[in-house]
Amino acid sequence: MKNVPLYLEGEFVQSQTDQWIDVTDPATNEVIAKAPCTTADEMTRAIESARKMFHIWKETPVSERARVMMRYQALLKENHDQIAEILSSETGKTFEDAKGDVWRGIEVVEHAANIPSMMMGETVENVARDIDTYSITQPLGVCAGITPFNFPAMIPLWMFPLAIACGNTFILKPSEQDPLTPMRLAKLFEEAGAPKGVLQVVHGAKEQVDRLLTDPVIKAVSFVGSVPVGRYIYETGTRHMKRVQSLAGAKNHMVILPDADKQQVINALVGASVGAAGQRCMAISVAVFVGEAQRWIPELKQAMAAARPGAWNEAGASYGPIISRKAKEKIEHLIGRGEAEGANLLLDGRGCKVDGLPNGNWVGPTLFSGVTEDMEIYKEEIFGPVLSCMEVDTLGDAIELVNRSPYGNGTSLFTSSGGAARRYQHEIDVGQVGINVPIPVPLPFFSFTGWKGSFYGDQHAYGKQAVRFYTETKTVTARWFSSDAQAETNFSIRMR
């Protein structure tokens, strides 16, 4: 067991706090590290260091900033498996799942290496006689990121590489439940040649988050997490005159038409519902079967029953444990509520056991049918390996059902009809749509575009929208009064 350091002014230092948070292995509930609650003085040090460094870093040529990202992505690739092992040890994710987490973050760093083209402004010559107008893209200042437990590599890498590539400095407050992975990312960023003070990493809980949300030095805050916290982050940050992008909860629906490929549907539903133990904001938690497709539910049950949780390095394990005992208890409570409210509990994951790991936070695959909109298991984001099946008569009914949901993070449609797919993607009020793709997370040259109650803000995460979020536009209108004749005269005088 070790104490997790802070990363301040380019140095890994031990906090002087007397408040520590246990970091546990969710497969055993053993304490593997302790994360500090950063003191007020240490928070001041981080913010002041980032403020001072911004005035230096923003003057660094954009091509040099891009080269730091090139070196960083090379180091991330070289250390890919090692990062994934650290990630697995503190989250319980299977090794393959952890590697995917790391790789999706690397893709964003690769995108950040293209920052020169994304920082280009616009120019119009002769907007009036002898007057030109052009726009310049400039960084904001000190930015901050508050990241969740479920993707401790990918989501920090969504944030600080792009913000820093734009010329900002950055303060990262990762989840206190799995801080070891972000600290390894910070170490590699240092090795890539990032100047001291460009990135700071602090730890803690609400007190430390509130400091980031209220300190006037910080200009923008990025967040990923639950709905209640996401709303709080957005309301508090904007009240203190900051830019905020707050990615919150989800209840993602997958709509299945009878003309879809049945086996593809079943495979997709199992992976998208129980993968990562359902602990991802793009997991499919509601399957909407249209018409005759309802007959496939028994085969879905059989396929889900074959999935089983296990240790991160156990061959054949479909997914790992729930992140904490508290989270496991919430999931099991909601399963009980669904049963009490009259849903058909086809698979019950409560009381799940894994050989050799009796103290882990295990929940088995859970499947409901006959779920209705008034049930708690439909309204709540369960964040576990629980899939609710609903039945409707037509595609139009399915669209209306999905559009009534207060969430709009992701959705998918499985069909062989191009016309149905075109109608669905056009009419659905959801930010990310998959057609025969269960989890439509875009690559980083697009943006992560949740809608409705799944996102609070104006500019979305990574991609071109993130560059706009982390920068400001300055417009210059220029006129020069020297005539051609006068310019030639001045040139002749200088040459004598």
pLDDT, one tens digit per residue, over 384-394 is 999 999 999 99
Query: Can you tell me the distance from the alpha carbon of 313 to that of 310, in angstroms, rounded to the nearest whole number?
Result: 8
Distance of CA 29 to the CA centre of its chain: 25
What integer pLDDT is reported at residue 44 of this predicted model? 98
Class of domain 252-435: alpha beta
Cα–Cα dist 30/85, whole Å:
17
Digit-coded pLDDT (tens) for 159-213: 999 999 999 999 999 999 999 999 999 999 999 999 999 999 999 999 999 999 9
pLDDT digits (tens, 9 = 90+) for 44-79: 999 999 999 999 999 999 999 999 999 999 999 999
Q: Are 353 and 344 in contact (CB under 8 A)?
A: no
10 Å CB burial of residue 423 (0-12, 13-18, 19+) is middle
Model confidence over 262-305: pLDDT tens digits? 999 999 999 999 999 999 999 999 999 999 999 999 999 999 99
> CB neighbours (10 Å) of residue 241?
8
Cα 281 off chain centre by: 8
At 108, which helix (H) or strand (E)?
helix 95-112
Residue 483: is its pLDDT beyond 60?
A: yes
Q: What is the pLDDT of residue 494?
A: 64
- Decide: 208 and 47 in contact? Cβ < 8 Å: no
What token pair was written down for 133?
Answer: 């107008």
Asked if 151 contacts 108 with a C-beta cutoff of 8 angstroms, the reply is: no
Predicted local distance difference test score (pLDDT) of residue 478: 97
Closest listed residue to residue 449, CA positions, set 466, 437, 436: 466
Does domain 2-248+462-476 fall under CATH 3.40.605.10? My reply is yes
Confidence grade of residue 495 (pLDDT, cut at 50, 70, 90): low
- Kindly state the percentage of the chain with pLDDT values over 70: 97
Residue ranges of the chain assigned to CATH 3.40.605.10: 2-248+462-476
Q: Show the CA angle centred on residue 175, arms to residues 446 and 9, nearest 5°.
A: 90
pLDDT higher than threshold 60 for residue 398: yes
Rounded CA separation 194/53 (Å): 11
**Is 467 within 8 Å of 118 (Cβ atoms)?**
yes
CA pair distance 51, 61, nearest whole angstrom: 19
Structure tokens, 227: 């709905």
Residue 60: phi and psi, rounded to 5, are -70, 130
Q: Are 247 and 282 in contact (CB under 8 A)?
A: no
Number of Cβ within 10 Å of residue 81's Cβ equals 11
Per-residue confidence at 133, pLDDT binned at 50, 70, 90? very high
Confidence of residue 489 (pLDDT cuts 50, 70, 90): low
- Active-site residue numbers? 281
Residues of each domain in the chain carrying CATH 3.40.309.10:
252-435
Q: Which of 28-42, 192-206, 219-233, 474-488 has the lowest mean pLDDT?
A: 474-488
Instruction: Give the least confident one: 233-242, 422-431, 438-447.
Output: 438-447
At 194, which helix (H) or strand (E)?
none
DSSP-derived pairing of the beta strands 366-369 and 252-256? unpaired
Going by pLDDT thresholds of 50, 70 and 90, the confidence category of residue 19 is very high
19 CB burial (10 A radius; 0-12, 13-18, 19+): middle
How far apart CA 400 and CA 181 sit, in angstroms, is 41
pLDDT greater than 90 at residue 493: no
CA angle (155, 458, 378) in 5-degree steps: 65
Spatial neighbors of 240 by CB under 8 A, at least 6 apart, are: 213, 214, 216
Q: Rounded mean pLDDT of 130-159?
A: 97
Three-class DSSP category at 99: helix
The arithmetic mean of pLDDT across residues 308-323, rounded, is 96
Q: Average pLDDT of the chain?
A: 96
Task: Give pTM, 2 decimals.
Answer: 0.94
Spatial contact of 164 and 193, defined as CB atoms under 8 Å apart: no
pLDDT, residue 364, reads: 98
User: From CA 129, how far away is CA 61, in angstroms rounded?
Assistant: 33
Q: Which residue has the tokens 């051609």?
A: 484
Q: What is the pLDDT of residues 97-122, one digit of tens each?
A: 999 999 999 999 999 999 999 999 99
Say if CB 80 and CB 130 are below 8 A apart: no
Determine how many CB atoms are found less than 10 A away from the CB of residue 122: 11
Phi first, then psi: give them for residue 462, nearest 5 degrees.
40, 180
Q: How confident is the model at residue 307 (pLDDT cuts 50, 70, 90)?
A: very high
**281 and 247 Cβ atoms separated by less than 8 Å:** yes
